[in-house]
Amino acid sequence: MDDKCEAPLLKMSDSSEKLSPPPPPCAQTNSTTFTKSDDDGFLRREGVKVQDVIDSVDKRSFYLYKETPNHRNFDAYHEVPIGIRSIIGYAFKANNNLKILEHLSGWVTTRCLVSGNELRLALRNGFDPTK
């Protein structure tokens, strides 16, 4: 995706109290897709050899995420129109991957926990236990 592509925000219209629909999503480019290198035949994502990622993680299924859209999405939520109070929350049941929790700890202002293990993971990854 183009790093200058802005994430859509829902805005209040002047004439009514209803939310306006979001604009269409930004066009995606090939920079976010997987490619096969002609030089060595390895699958790559944004220049990173997928085999190197496989070799660095536990031998089980995993997801390979792109960090930039997550940054942009959280930044967009923080830029809500002035006068509207908001918080960003995250449900640990959605995905309790330690790396993702570590990554989200800087943006998420509250979290939803339903077990002691989820609380342990939250504390381990720097989440404020008072929120």
Provide the percentage of residues in the chain whose pLDDT is more than 70.
66
Most confident of 18-27, 31-40, 109-118: 109-118
Of the two residues 42 and 68, the one the predictor is more confident about is 42
Q: DSSP assignment of the chain, as one string?
A: --TTPPPP---B-SSSSSBPPPPPPPPP-GGGSEEE-TTT--EEETTEEHHHHHHHS-SS------HHHHHHHHHHHHTPPTT-----EEETTT---HHHHHHHTTT-SEEE--SHHHHHHHHHTT--TT-
Most confident of 64-68, 100-104, 118-122: 118-122
Determine the Cα–Cα distance for residues 101 and 75; give it in Å rounded to an integer.
17
pLDDT at 114 over 80: yes
Q: What is the mean pLDDT of the chain?
A: 70
pLDDT at 119 over 80: yes
Residue 29 — very low, low, confident or very high, per pLDDT cuts 50/70/90?
Answer: very low
